[in-house]
């Protein structure tokens, strides 16, 4: 399944793409504007050179190869002829060997540096020693040993617009640098801390884990958000601790009460019932010559023995002595006894890799025992189940117990919070949930009306050192 991009990625794209498109647009506009300036200046300098060539073509200049002599006319004549031109621009007349014959007024020494750059009538962009831009072109006069190089200043043609063209690449580079810096700061100070906070919130067990209280390097608002979240997490931990202490105290009081009741029954009614059985047996011996009385006493003895057995079972239910044998043995004993008492089929399946010398902590053993006991009682008494399946499995570093029945089922609270059932008087599910939660595990209850109920408990395995 393809993972949907989150808001943070969308934020980066929303900032980066417009900035990137703006830079591209600015670059296109710059190139278009510069191309226009090149074309205009190229046309201008071509007209300038054509005008100079037209004046020179009006006379015959027989320049000797390697010399500067003029057969018809002289240098003064050429200077007079060309100085009458009033077209703005710079030009120079060269002989074929590169000697300068005539130079127009102005600073045109830089043309000597760029002379080799002109090889045809194609306009060329050049610049002088101070960085001013020019467009130059070369024109060879037919049948003469001379050629003309003309140049026009962009500043003269376009004024301050040239400064914009010159600085535009630096402006775009600066804009790009600031855009990248802004994106970096946004990512480092906003997005990255938000992603860390998001991952921490998803992995945090609220009420147990404590997040980092600060986010160094993030913007103040995010640091304040994390600080507030840390305070809420701390409050949740304190609340969870109070609730765990409260539930622990309740469970302890319940177990103490069970033990006290079991002891009172064992030391009181159970001893009295046992003494009654002994007296009935002695009385039967004394009245052995009266069969009718002996039969009546035997019936009373059987009733008294049933009472003794029920009282012993009650004591064993309240304080199971076989819990000391370990989790697997205690669960086996529980299923066998409850199957006999309730008259239903209870199947126990123990699987997984259990070490022979491995012992489960008494608190964890008691939690599983009470949950299984409560689940089986609910299945039979409330769900009218005729078959109950209990499975106990050792999986890696956890112990999993599942109780499944074929009873009537019930409507599980939508919220999954069984404490609301406690308020309505149904304490069984709430007690099971609290016992497993105190053991550091989770409980899952699924039930379908008319089909049955499945209770699954999962608790981290704990070894006794």
pLDDT at residue number 135: 84
In a domain, 205, yes or no: no
Grade residue 358 by pLDDT with cuts at 50, 70 and 90: low
In a domain, 272, yes or no: no
CB-based contact 100:134 (threshold 8 Å): no
Record the tokens describing residue 157, joined without a space: 């043609």
Q: How many CB atoms lie within 10 A of CB 164?
A: 12
CB-based contact 81:104 (threshold 8 Å): no
Record the tokens describing residue 75, joined without a space: 């240098």
Distance between CA atoms of residues 368 and 435, nearest Å:
8
Q: Domain containing 447 — which CATH number? A: 3.30.565.10
CB-based contact 381:362 (threshold 8 Å): no
Range of weakest confidence among 81-95, 262-276, 363-377: 81-95
pLDDT digit string, tens, across residues 3-30: 445 665 676 677 777 777 877 887 887 7
CB-based contact 364:395 (threshold 8 Å): no
In a domain, 314, yes or no: no
DSSP of 68-90: ---SSS-HHHHHHHHHT---SSE
Q: How many CB atoms lie within 10 A of CB 130?
A: 7
Q: Catalogue the long-range contacts made by 179-185 (C-beta closer than 8 Å, 24 or more residues apart).
A: 179/16, 179/19, 179/20, 179/23, 182/15, 183/12, 183/15, 183/16, 183/19
Range of weakest confidence among 224-233, 377-386, 414-423: 414-423
* This prediction's pTM: 0.52
Of 239 and 6, the structure prediction assigns the larger pLDDT to: 239
Bridge partners (DSSP) of residue 462 are: none
CB-based contact 78:61 (threshold 8 Å): yes
- In sequence order, which ranges of 187-219 are alpha helices (DSSP H)? 192-203
Domain closes at, from 126, 141, 168:
168
Q: In what order do the strands lie in the sheet with 387-395?
A: 345-352, 387-395, 398-405, 452-460, 442-448
CB-based contact 126:114 (threshold 8 Å): yes
CB-based contact 398:383 (threshold 8 Å): no
Query: Which range of residues forms the domain containing residue 465?
Result: 325-465
In a domain, 59, yes or no: yes
- In three-state secondary structure terms, 60 is coil
Domain closes at, from 117, 135, 168:
168
- In three-state secondary structure terms, 146 is strand
Number of separate domains in the chain: 2
In a domain, 284, yes or no: no
Distance between CA atoms of residues 101 and 115, nearest Å:
14
Distance between CA atoms of residues 202 and 192, nearest Å:
15
How many residues can be counted in the chain? Answer: 465
Report which listed range, 112-121, 355-364, 412-421, 451-460, is most confident.
451-460
Distance between CA atoms of residues 292 and 284, nearest Å:
11
pLDDT at residue number 455: 92
pLDDT digit string, tens, across residues 188-200: 888 788 888 888 8
Residues 6+ apart with CB under 8 A from 13: none
Domain closes at, from 120, 150, 168:
168
Of 13 and 70, the structure prediction assigns the larger pLDDT to: 13
Kind of pairing between the strands at 387-395 and 398-405: antiparallel
Grade residue 402 by pLDDT with cuts at 50, 70 and 90: very high
pLDDT at residue number 34: 79
In a domain, 246, yes or no: no
Query: Pick from 35, 59, 453: which is nearest to 443 by CA?
Result: 453
In a domain, 381, yes or no: yes
CB-based contact 372:459 (threshold 8 Å): no
Q: Domain containing 119 — which CATH number? A: 3.30.450.20
CB-based contact 446:412 (threshold 8 Å): yes
pLDDT at residue number 65: 44
Torsion of CA 26, 28, 30, 33, to 10 degrees: -130
Range of weakest confidence among 36-45, 244-253, 259-268, 369-378: 244-253
In a domain, 217, yes or no: no
Record the tokens describing residue 307, joined without a space: 């009472």
Mean pLDDT of the chain: 77
CB-based contact 464:361 (threshold 8 Å): yes
- In three-state secondary structure terms, 315 is helix
Grade residue 367 by pLDDT with cuts at 50, 70 and 90: confident
């Amino acid at each position: 399944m393809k993972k949907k991009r989150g808001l943070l990625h969308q934020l980066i794209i929303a900032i980066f793409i417009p900035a990137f498109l703006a830079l591209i647009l600015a670059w296109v506009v710059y190139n278009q504007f510069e191309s226009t300036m090149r074309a205009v200046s190229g046309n201008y300098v071509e007209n300038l050179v054509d005008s100079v060539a037209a004046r020179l073509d009006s006379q015959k200049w027989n320049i000797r190869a390697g010399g500067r002599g003029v057969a018809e006319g002289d240098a003064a004549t050429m200077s007079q002829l060309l100085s009458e031109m009033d077209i703005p621009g710079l030009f120079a007349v060269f002989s074929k060997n590169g000697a300068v014959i005539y130079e127009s007024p102005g600073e045109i020494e830089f043309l000597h540096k760029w002379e080799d750059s002109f090889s045809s009538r194609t306009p060329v962009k050049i610049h002088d020693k101070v960085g001013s831009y020019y467009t130059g072109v070369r024109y060879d006069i037919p049948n003469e040993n001379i050629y003309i190089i003309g140049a026009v200043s962009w500043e003269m043609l376009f004024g301050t617009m040239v400064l914009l063209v010159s600085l535009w690449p630096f402006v775009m580079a600066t804009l790009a640098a600031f855009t990248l810096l802004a994106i970096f700061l946004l990512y480092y100070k906003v997005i990255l801390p938000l992603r860390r906070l998001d991952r921490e919130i998803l992995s945090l067990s609220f009420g147990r884990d404590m997040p980092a209280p600060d986010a160094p390097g993030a913007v103040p608002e995010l640091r304040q958000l994390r600080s507030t979240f840390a305070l809420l997490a701390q409050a949740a931990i304190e609340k969870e601790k109070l609730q765990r202490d409260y539930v622990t105290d309740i469970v302890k009081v319940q177990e103490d009460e069970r033990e006290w009741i079991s002891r009172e029954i064992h030391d009181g009614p159970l001893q009295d019932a046992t003494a009654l059985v002994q007296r009935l047996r002695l009385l039967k011996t004394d009245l052995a010559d009266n069969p009718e009385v002996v039969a009546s006493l035997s019936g009373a003895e059987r009733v008294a023995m049933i009472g003794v057995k029920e009282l012993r079972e009650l004591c064993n239910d309240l304080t199971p002595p076989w819990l000391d044998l370990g989790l697997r043995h205690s669960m086996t004993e529980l299923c066998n006894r409850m199957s006999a008492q309730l008259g239903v089929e209870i199947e126990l399946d123990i699987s997984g890799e259990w070490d022979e010398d491995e012992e489960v902590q008494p608190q964890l053993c008691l939690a599983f025992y009470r949950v299984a006991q409560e689940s089986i009682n609910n299945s039979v008494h409330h769900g009218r189940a005729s078959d109950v399946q209990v499975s106990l499995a050792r999986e890696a570093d956890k112990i999993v117990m599942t109780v499944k029945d074929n009873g009537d089922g019930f409507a599980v609270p939508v919220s999954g919070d069984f404490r609301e059932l406690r308020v309505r008087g149904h304490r069984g599910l709430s007690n099971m949930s609290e016992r497993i939660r105190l053991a550091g595990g989770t409980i899952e209850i699924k039930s379908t009306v008319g089909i049955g109920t499945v209770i699954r408990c999962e608790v981290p395995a704990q070894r006794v050192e």
